[in-house]
């Protein structure tokens, strides 16, 4: 990790108004120019943490001892400040490009429009840059793809178009929320490779939110395991086999292994104590 973290989050708690309990409780972590995985079951609070970093939670109360992004105190940042940060210095990639791309605008025009908005350049310049960027995310024949509508591109291509759009401004932080779950296995590898290159070559910090423990274990440098709104385990990905929390151990035991015994996988036996603050980090 670099000396000055890109993100420093301490004691982040998030409570959606009108709900009985906080969705996220006392989450702390730092992020350098590395890949941090956040894993946990559905509803454990992973996406809520991601959206809180972008301050995209209008119906929730956010408290934290500190939530810093580079030189910015996110807790004090106004909506006006956030408009300058979102999409420029901090970007998010969502699971399904179908919901992120505008269905009635050609794909290339959406990338070019993002260029024009952020870089205030001419339309011709934006088009040229957009085509270069489509090529950079390994889209073959970018001039043709530029003119396609979102329903005419595959899921993998749509995701690469989203990544192209996100890269325009050289962000320091990318939050990828299940970026590959809607993709088939080979396309998934291509998209992961593009994200991996971004960390290695451009030195961004990447948060990868996922259900897939194996994917995160192989792709990330460090992993946070969330359960019921809390981080219950934080480890180097290479150390995950030494996990101590019973939930993490249960998840690991439930992974199928090629060549392993042909017995049914164990079912996770939950315990009330896992929701106990004493068990959290």
Ligand X SMILES: Nc1ncnc2c1ncn2[C@@H]1O[C@H](COP(=O)(O)OP(=O)(O)OP(=O)(O)O)[C@@H](O)[C@H]1O
Window 53 to 82, contacts with ligand X (CB under 6 A): 59
Residue 43 binds to ligand X (criterion: CB under 6 A): yes
In sequence order, which residues have a C-beta less than 8 Å from that of residue 56 and are 6 or more positions away? Answer: 86
Smallest gap from Cβ 163 to ligand X, in A, equals 20
Residue 15 binds to ligand X (criterion: CB under 6 A): no
Residue 181 binds to ligand X (criterion: CB under 6 A): no
Smallest gap from Cβ 5 to ligand X, in A, equals 23
69-90 burial code (b ≥16 CB/10 A, e <16)? bbebebeebeeeebeebbbbbb
In eight-state DSSP terms, residue 7 is: E
Smallest gap from Cβ 37 to ligand X, in A, equals 13
CB 281, CB 11: distance < 8 Å? no
Residue 122: phi and psi, rounded to 5, are -75, 165
Judged by phi (left if over 0) then psi (alpha if -120 to 50, else beta), residue 147 lies in alpha
The number of angstroms, rounded, from the C-alpha of 148 to the middle of its chain's C-alpha atoms is 26
Among 1, 8, 10, 16, binds ligand X (CB under 6 A): 16
Residue 131: phi and psi, rounded to 5, are -65, -40
- Region from 16-24, 105-113, 138-146, 254-262 binding ligand X, contact rule CB under 6 A: 16-24
Which CB sits closer to ligand X, 52 or 111?
52
Residue 179 binds to ligand X (criterion: CB under 6 A): no
Binding mask 197-226 for ligand X (x = CB under 6 A): --------------x---------------
Smallest gap from Cβ 174 to ligand X, in A, equals 17
Residue 269 binds to ligand X (criterion: CB under 6 A): no
The two structure tokens encoding residue 68: 């810093």
Residues that bind ligand X (CB under 6 A): 16, 19, 23, 40, 42-48, 59, 211
């Amino acid at each position: 990790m670099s000396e000055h973290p890109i993100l420093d989050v301490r004691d982040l708690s998030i409570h959606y108004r009108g709900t009985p309990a906080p969705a996220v409780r006392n989450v702390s972590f730092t992020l350098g120019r590395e890949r941090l995985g956040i894993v946990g079951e559905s509803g454990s609070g992973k996406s809520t943490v991601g959206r809180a970093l972008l301050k995209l939670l209008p119906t929730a109360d956010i408290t934290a001892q500190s939530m810093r992004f580079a030189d910015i105190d996110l807790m004090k940042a106004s909506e006006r400040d956030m408009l300058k940060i979102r999409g420029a210095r901090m970007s998010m990639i969502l699971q399904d490009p179908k919901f992120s791309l505008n269905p009635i605008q050609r794909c290339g025009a959406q990338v070019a429009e993002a260029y024009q908005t952020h870089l205030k350049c001419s339309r011709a310049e934006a088009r040229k840059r957009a085509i270069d960027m489509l090529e950079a995310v390994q889209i073959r024949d970018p001039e043709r793809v530029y003119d396609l509508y979102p329903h005419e591109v595959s899921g993998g291509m749509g995701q690469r178009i989203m990544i192209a759009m996100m890269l325009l401004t050289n962000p320091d932080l990318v939050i990828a929320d299940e970026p590959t779950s809607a993709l088939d296995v080979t396309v998934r590898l291509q998209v992961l490779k593009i994200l991996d290159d971004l960390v290695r070559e451009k030195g961004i910090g990447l948060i990868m939110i996922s259900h897939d423990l194996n994917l995160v274990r192989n792709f990330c440098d460090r992993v946070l395991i969330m359960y019921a709104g809390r981080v219950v385990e934080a480890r180097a990905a290479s150390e995950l086999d030494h996990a101590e929390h019973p939930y993490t151990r249960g998840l690991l035991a439930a992974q199928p292994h090629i060549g392993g015994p042909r017995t049914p996988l164990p079912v996770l036996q939950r315990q009330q104590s896992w929701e106990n603050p004493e068990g959290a980090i």
